[in-house]
Amino acid sequence: MDSCDKRVGELTATKSRYFWSNGPLGAEYTVNSYEREKLLLQTWNYSFLYNEIRDFGFKFVYNLLKLNAAWARIKNEENIAGCTFCSLSRTNPVEKENLQHFFNSCNTVNEISKTYFDKFMTGQGIEFDISFLMRGAPTSLTKSKIMILNIEIIIFCFLLYKYKYRKKLPRLINIEFYFSHCRFNMLKNSKYRRAWLGWGGEGGVGDDD
Ligand SMILES: [Zn+2]
């Protein structure tokens, strides 16, 4: 590994995300994770993503998003720390809404993620795992497929975060509608389009070749 890889591995944000998503994949942050993490960390920087998604993506990978538990600490109001989705779906007990709960443990997030990504990943030869949200696409995929899946993960998490702020439960039909709208724009970019066709998606007509 080069020194850049080493720096990636030493990021506190990375280590925290791996700790929080210590699910079925089990493994801690290892040398094998460097490549995976490097690819996830660059996802927010793609020029064909909307600015608000890029802004979100940056805060997401560096654990800078503030959820209810963080606001509760800042305002010193313990009663506002509960998870928005758990409250809305009347899940008991309502867990604290921190990054680990929201992007890994929350029932609502687990259910809708599995439904969306099981369909999205049909035919790719790998099973969706909730830890993908915090760790990014696994390196068993090709680089261009990792790019597609990481973009999908960042946009999906962006939408969950938006629903949370609107105090609404995420709805699959609206999420899919947003993706088709985003995809229409992203497909104008030749790099994205090539990767998307490699994924097996339907092509758009480019205007930047
Ligand atoms: Zn929850």
| Domain presence at residue 209 | no
| Domain presence at residue 194 | yes
Residue numbers in the chain where pLDDT is lower than 50:
1-3, 24-26, 207-209
Q: Report the separation in Å between the CA atom of 184 and the middle of ligand 1, taken as the mean of its atom positions.
A: 31
State how far the Cα of 117 lies from the Cα of 149, in Å rounded to an integer. Answer: 9
pLDDT digits (tens, 9 = 90+) for 53-74: 999 999 999 999 999 999 999 9
| Domain presence at residue 207 | no
State how far the Cα of 133 lies from the Cα of 125, in Å rounded to an integer. Answer: 18
Q: Report the separation in Å between the CA atom of 100 and the middle of ligand 1, taken as the mean of its atom positions.
A: 10
State how far the Cα of 76 lies from the Cα of 81, in Å rounded to an integer. Answer: 10
User: How many domains does the chain contain in total?
Assistant: 1
pTM attached to this predicted model: 0.91
Q: Rg of the chain's alpha carbons, rounded to an integer?
A: 17
| Domain presence at residue 204 | no
Whole-number pLDDT of residue 89: 97
| Domain presence at residue 171 | yes
Beta-ladder partners of 96: 82
* H helix intervals, the chain: 3-10, 12-20, 33-41, 51-61, 68-75, 84-88, 99-100, 107-120, 132-135, 143-166, 172-186, 190-199
Range of the domain at 168: 3-199
Q: Report the separation in Å between the CA atom of 90 and the middle of ligand 1, taken as the mean of its atom positions.
A: 10
Whole-number pLDDT of residue 13: 87
| Domain presence at residue 206 | no
